[in-house]
């Protein structure tokens, strides 16, 4: 048995891309067109909080929607742009659309009411405060009388 490399990109050499495009509607359902990129995330735990850094260049703070619901933190963004340029001999319209959504299950020691978010230099920063976990009382032996 031998291993074979498989690429997700269509090949012009074997004609599959052109065949998919001209022979049926499968071209627009191709796997390589459906790949969605999500921003890279760094999570750091300190004594007082959790810090989440998400690389999201090209967005503004208005583009983000951040929510916490039943222990799940969800960060999402949707951005649409339309540009139209008109001249005597032509009209050019450009459309741009991008979106993503990331969800994180929060640990029990997080205070869901104390989440702060900042957007600066293309990086979304979240600080999620930890709550003081109650100290458990030591096991107490009960004497039977």
Q: Report the CATH number at residue 100.
A: 2.60.40.790
Is 67 part of any domain?
A: yes
Percent of the chain with pLDDT over 70: 72
- Considering the entire predicted model, what is its pTM? 0.61
pLDDT per position as a tens digit, 54-108? 999 888 889 999 999 989 999 999 888 888 888 888 888 888 888 899 999 999 8
Please give the tally of structural domains in the chain.
Answer: 1
Is 9 part of any domain?
A: no
| Paired strand residues for 65 | 76
Cα atoms in the 13 Å half-sphere on the side-chain side of 110: 21
When comparing pLDDT for 129 and 19, which is higher?
Answer: 129
Angle at 69 between CA 66 and CA 75, to 5 degrees: 25
Q: How confident is residue 43, by pLDDT bands cut at 50, 70 and 90?
A: very high
Q: Mean pLDDT score of the chain, rounded to an integer?
A: 80
Is 142 part of any domain?
A: no
| Paired strand residues for 78 | 99
Range of the domain at 45: 16-130
Tokens representing 109 are 């020691």
Strands (E), 33-142: 41-45, 49-55, 64-69, 72-86, 91-105, 110-120, 123-130
Cα atoms in the 13 Å half-sphere on the side-chain side of 143: 1
Residues ≥6 apart with Cβ < 8 Å to 107: none
pLDDT-wise least confident of 1-15, 50-64, 112-126: 1-15
When comparing pLDDT for 4 and 111, which is higher?
Answer: 111
Is 10 part of any domain?
A: no
d(C-alpha 63, C-alpha 120), whole Å: 13
pLDDT score at 86: 84
């Amino acid at each position: 048995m031998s291993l074979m490399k498989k690429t997700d990109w269509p090949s012009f050499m074997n004609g599959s891309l052109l065949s998919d495009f001209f022979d049926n509607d499968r071209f627009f359902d191709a796997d390589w067109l459906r790949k969605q990129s999500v921003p890279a995330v760094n999570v750091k735990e300190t004594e007082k909080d959790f810090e989440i850094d998400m690389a999201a260049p090209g967005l503004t703070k208005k583009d983000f929607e951040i929510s916490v619901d039943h222990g799940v933190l969800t960060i999402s963004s949707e951005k649409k742009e339309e540009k139209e340029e008109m001249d005597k001999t032509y009209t050019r319209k450009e459309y741009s659309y991008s979106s993503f959504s990331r969800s994180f299950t929060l640990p029990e020691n997080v205070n869901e009411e104390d989440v702060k978010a900042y957007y600066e230099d293309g990086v979304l920063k979240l600080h999620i405060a930890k709550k003081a976990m109650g100290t458990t009382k030591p096991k107490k032996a009960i004497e039977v009388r």
